[in-house]
Structure 1
Amino acid sequence: MSEQVSVTPSWLTPDPSWVSSGGGSTENLTAGTPPPPAILPPESSAELLVNPWDIVLCTSGTLIACENALVVLVIWQNPALRAPMFLLIGSLALADLLAGVGLVLHFAFAYLLRSDAAQLLTIGLVVASFSASVFSLLAITIDRYLSLYYALTYNSERTAAFTYTMLVLLWGASLCLGLLPVTGVNCLSQEDACSVVRPLTKNNVAVLSVSFLLLFGLMLQLYVQICKIVMRHAHQIAVQHHFLAATPHYVTTRKGVSTLAIILGTFAACWMPFTVYSLIADYTYPPLYTYATLVPATYNSIINPVIYAFRNQEIQKALWMVCCGCIPASMAQRARTPSDV
């Protein structure tokens, strides 16, 4: 009679309920990997099971990688897309691309290679890339604020130099965060120090979570200032037309402010549950809660290209040129509006 081997989540320490239910002893086993077939009776044939949540994360990673690879390719091949705004969008797409690759590699190594070294490398890649994604979102927000506040001098060489400086700093900080698990800041030798995501320690995840909350607060403040500037400009233009509510510019400005609210709301909805949960929980909590908050966080990298890249008129034109070698007349004649902010 065949007996199946229970599998613990690849991202987490073994579920205590699995141990208590008679699934077998976890002594001398690498946490987050299936028990070896040796624990089964000789006459049993083991069938490797895959955690469904890991399949969801791997699927998300594949979609993230494909979607953002298209954005990176378009920006890389089009010389016209070299303005600071497009460099930051390209940085965001590259970070999300690496995050998708990291999710896929982590799934493959967890069920095929099952090595602590491979696990450290992939988790480091995921941490670094998602950190770069969040930092890139902050850089885009700063760039949008500066483009409105310093509208007359925004297109100067100083802006380009500032953009390159932001890129160097955000990728440097992200690389440092990603190297922490590889350089020894992990819980492989001390399971009780693990966070909700193995092999990250509780302190490591706490630093990442607090940093995210600070960055989110800064982004919120910048978006509030952006809304004030946009509404003030719209009001000044509308007053010149002597009729506020019917002015087309006022209508499109309201649409732009709504877009900013959607951007910030989507970002918070994706990342806030996992951030808050990782601060209050530890490795003893049920794995279901971790996956239920971690999966939506990955969806932010799926949504980012739609919000920041595919809505941009210049990138849309470049995509049309790549796909069919032409640009629709309606798109070529369309003017940029505040809703594109």
Structure 2
Amino acid sequence: MDDICLNQTGDMAAMLLCFPHLQDSCPRFVRLTIVRVVMYAFMVITILMTVCGNLLVIISITHFKQLHSPTNFILRSLAVVDCCLGCFVMPFSMVRSVEGCWYMGENFCKVHSSLDMMLCTTSILHLCLVSIDRYYAICDPLQYSTKVTVFKVISGTIIIWLFSFLFCFGVVFSGVNMVGLETFILMTYCEGSCALFFNKEWGIIAPTVSFYIPAAVMTCLYIKIFHVARKHAKVMSDRLATVTCSELKNQASEQRERKAAKTLAIVMGVFLLCWLPFFITTLIDPFVNFQTPFHIFDAVMWFAYFNSTCNPVIYAFFYPHFRKAFKIIIAKISGMRTNTHILVVE
């Protein structure tokens, strides 16, 4: 009877391993089928929204010459970053999140981790570059055309891409982030895992470079932009004093202030909501002996990914000229599908 129980237990354990034929395999997550289906559906929808939304931005800015401006070139580069994240990082992270297993091998795990870290850093730095562009456009409009040129914007985006690549791939492939953690990694390693650990030093350095410094710059600039926008609204209201009644002036001024406050609140609110939990967890985890549960770390990671889904909405859909471009592109695609359908029927 005991032998039968042992055999049943062994068979059950084998079914729940990432690689049942390996003794050092990681265990798989035990989830109800409906839970797995819902998770896959949600993540696939998020990935499709990320890729399609950012593709619309890329096509619009590339195709329509009216959208060729320094600001929009930053947005196009940002859309390329977020589209790459949706194509090359999020699908593999989805399988790992749902199944709890990494099936692509150790070498690709390093590439995936490096690419994930690089694209997230690049996306954040692009958002910081957008805030710098908006600062000059609103706070120093007379000098904007000389201070912000297409050449400077393209140079800035290239520097961001190169810096992010060298920094992130350098950290992961050099292994400096795991110095002092060799014993811990050997004790916890199993076949089918793909986790990026940071020691205490790099647990501070990496988040600071990738997030905290750009976030501080963005916060300061957007606060300054908000105050300047309010002053501009007040000045415009005063200039209209001779031609409009005071009530209309106040209403127009208040509307402009509310619009500026709303836009900046959405920009910073979504950015901080998506990224802050992830980088707080990354910063704290090395100091609590990596006790953060996988499910929590996974959840905050997908919150961070979701920022790439929101970027096209925040930085493009709010502008009427982008909405018109999107409508034209979608109409053309729909027309092509309709014509193809008619040809097939005929």
Identity of aligned residues (%): 21
Report the Cα distance in structure 1 between the residues aligned to 2:204 and 2:195, rounded to whole angstroms. 13
Pairwise CA distance, 1:113: 4.3
Equivalent position to 1:142, from 132, 140, 144: 132
1:81 and 2:70 matched: no
TM-score between both structures, scaled by the size of structure 2: 0.73
1:309 and 2:316 matched: yes
Report the Cα distance in structure 2 between the residues aligned to 1:260 and 1:126, rounded to whole angstroms. 27
Distance change >3 Å, CA 96–CA 226, structure 1 → 2: same
Match of 2:16 in 1: 6
Pairwise CA distance, 1:153: 2.9
Paired AA for residue 264 in structure 1: M
Pairwise CA distance, 1:221: 0.5
1:1-341 alignment runs, 5 A limit: 3=12, 5-6=15-16, 28-29=24-25, 60-101=46-87, 102-107=89-94, 113-156=103-146, 159-180=149-170, 182-185=172-175, 187=178, 190=182, 192=184, 198-202=195-199, 203-211=201-209, 212-242=211-241, 243=246, 246-282=250-286, 283-324=290-331
Distance change >3 Å, CA 191–CA 124, structure 1 → 2: farther
Contact 1:98–1:125 under 8 Å retained in 2? no
Deviates more, 1:91-100 or 1:63-72: 63-72
Contact 1:106–1:123 under 8 Å retained in 2? no
Greater relative contact order (Cα < 8 A, sep 6+): 2
Structure 1, residues 264-302: CA drift from partner, whole Å, max 9, x if none?
Answer: 011111111111111111433321221232221111111
Pairwise CA distance, 1:205: 4.2
Pairwise CA distance, 1:69: 2.0
Report the Cα distance in structure 2 between the residues aligned to 1:281 and 1:162, rounded to whole angstroms. 38
Distance change >3 Å, CA 53–CA 99, structure 1 → 2: same
- Where do 4+ consecutive residues of structure 1 move more than 6 Å? 24-27, 49-55
TM-score between both structures, scaled by the size of structure 1: 0.74
Distance change >3 Å, CA 124–CA 291, structure 1 → 2: same
Report the Cα distance in structure 1 between the residues aligned to 2:113 and 2:46, rounded to whole angstroms. 16
Contiguous gaps of at least 5 residues in structure 2? 1-7, 30-34, 189-193, 333-346
Paired AA for residue 54 in structure 2: N
RMSD: 3.5
Contact 2:133–2:148 under 8 Å retained in 1? no
Q: Which has the higher helix share?
A: 2
**Per the alignment, in what secondary structure is the counterpart of residue 324 of structure 1?**
helix
